[in-house]
Structure 1
């Protein structure tokens, strides 16, 4: 728990520093110069590094950015492939009746599919503000996960139906609102130029999808006819707060 608290504070401070970098770049370099540079608003940090430290600091920042992007992409790809192969293919589709070699083959194919989808998505989002895309990803992740996590930690009556309604409802609403927002169509910098089917006026769906996910979690739990075992609830609370009983890594 102590490490989680440290991680939360460090990550929060890091994202607050991005505001300082943005305003600092605007003050020292100027908005017109940033917009005229290759990459537009995405070049604010490299230009600020060059302004403060010359080519050395620019090279250092570029190397760190490249290594970070590579690590994040690799980590997300491996995590998504392993989750699909183990949780969906092995547990749901095959009902646990699959050998480790078959699971590894599915994971490898999933990596290829995820890579192709990521390339297509990157082409569609070309020219978009990277910080804005990160905010969209955070909104989708928060819509799908935040209500379930908080309800699981602090609401003893929260059950499986509430979790399913919250996760699927939050994820689906966030993706739907993004698809119907000016991010995709109807704006000057939309992904699909020449089309306008934007119904949702906001660019970020979080202000709607996250409260909706909380509501669906409460509604699903309230309407559920199943009664959760108090002993299981107490066990879940201890495991979620301490990590006791977490599964170990499996051999592949």
Structure 2
């Protein structure tokens, strides 16, 4: 082995890779002879190197080291690996906890968004139900008004018919009296007219009036009952 060639290699390594000058001390392990034991010189050189280089070199067993030193070195290496494993487990545990927190935050945000969607939907449903109720009330009012108008129209038509019958009867009696005017039956016709007029006032008119009045009262009662039923339904619904 050429010592000068080794020195050149280490110098080139220092210049190209910008390594520490302590690396150059490792050449002592190869050029010293006679004065020191090579094993001790190698150990001294290794101790002068950085920790990461010593750890890497220390993985392999040196043939000249004793068993106690080898076991201690292996134990140190195992402790180091154990610490690394513990740190890795802690890191993974932190990552899992962070992922779980992120999932919880995401789930809470989704729940909040769902609630924000449900609240307007429920409000719209209540408004729609209220609108349908108001529409039903309007329809009920329209039906009630129509029934009232129909009942009043029916009663007016009956009263009109009764009035027309009375007018026609009055016209017939008056025409009969006029025809017999100036004759012997004038007095009898006048008397018959008065009697018929009195009877019509006392019987026919009262009968027709009672019939119309009772029918009108019945219709009004029925209409009021319907209105009460509708009001009870609306109150129960609300």
Report the TM range for the smaller structure's normalisation: under 0.3
TM-score if structure 2 supplies the norm length? 0.21
- Structure whose alpha-carbon radius of gyration is higher: 2
Q: Could you say which structure has the greater relative contact order, defined with CA pairs below 8 angstroms and 6 or more residues apart?
A: 1
